[in-house]
Amino acid sequence: MSDTFFQRFDEWVAAFDDVEFVEGESDEHHTESAVTLLTKLVFVQTLADYGVVDADWLRKTWNGHERSHGHDGRHAVLDAFFTDVSEQVEAYCDVGLFTRDVYPTGEQSAPGAETVAQNVAAVVGVATDESQGEKTGVADVDFTQLDEDVFGRIYETYLADGRTGHGIYYTPGYVSRSLVADTVGAELGAIATRFEDAVETGRWDAAATAAMEFTEFTVLDPACGTGSFLVAAFDTIRDEYDRLFECLDAARPPRRQSEGAETSENPSEGKTERIEALLRTLGYTEDERGELRLREREFAATLVLRHVHAVDLDSQAL
């Protein structure tokens, strides 16, 4: 599916070949502008596919502005649509590649604006040729089925040309995964093993120390590029958290036993409290009923802020 997507992406870029983003721009700058615009649309559709924003947000938003602003001309439709796209992007991302304004609307003549609007509608997936039964727009792609490094390939294919002279190179996903396994995986795996040993032998203070060390583990990529290494690192970190959660789940006393009064023969209540304290340290929070649970979306954001750090000289880096 990835190859099919990138064939489509080539077609989407080509759809803007005759669109002038900035007067007198070079071919290289024009390609960057087209790719930046498309990357914004891909990013928003990815949010929709993962349930972060409303399903089919792009198509619904375009159609909505066609109805509400169509009588004011194509400029009005384009401006309203791209304003909404920018707001969605900036609400979830502060990366320059996504947030840079590149919309080709300001200096377009009326016929030019009509051409841009037709291209945008086709790329979004509103102007799909139903007679052919083929859906080729951004909104027709299920991004949950694509490699999470899709933005890395976009960067490698369209934006990295000429940057190798400055020592800027794209790191393929398989290389990143191998590096992560030998570094992040090895370090966190050792901490996780100590945690498991402490929990299984009832050494709760040692388990708490290991849990704190685990949560303070950080990864810095000083040349992050598209984040290929950090994506692989995040996946490994998340897997190791699951390992700790499974250990604590296995150590939890049966519910009937834990609900009984604690005695010297039944120390389950104290054990349960220790386990819950460890879960809180790792990232569990209380719901409205006071029960501990893992909120996946918030937890993912916590892990990024807690463990992942990145910088890059390239302004296009993700």
pLDDT at 3: 77
Distant-in-sequence contacts of 24-32, Cβ < 8 A, 24+ apart: 28/161, 28/162, 31/158, 32/158, 32/159, 32/316
131: pLDDT confidence band, cut at 50, 70 and 90? very low
pLDDT at 240: 97
Rounded CA separation 287/95 (Å): 32
Residue 219, classified by CB atoms within 10 Å of its CB into exposed (0-12), middle (13-18) or buried (19+), is buried
Rounded CA separation 211/194 (Å): 9
pLDDT at 168: 61
* Residue labelled with tokens 């799909």: 128
Query: Tens digit of pLDDT for each residue in 12-47?
Result: 999 888 877 777 777 778 888 888 889 889 989 998
Query: Tens digit of pLDDT for each residue in 225-267?
Result: 777 888 899 999 999 999 999 999 999 887 655 555 554 555 5
Contact of 82 with 75, CB cutoff 8 Å: no
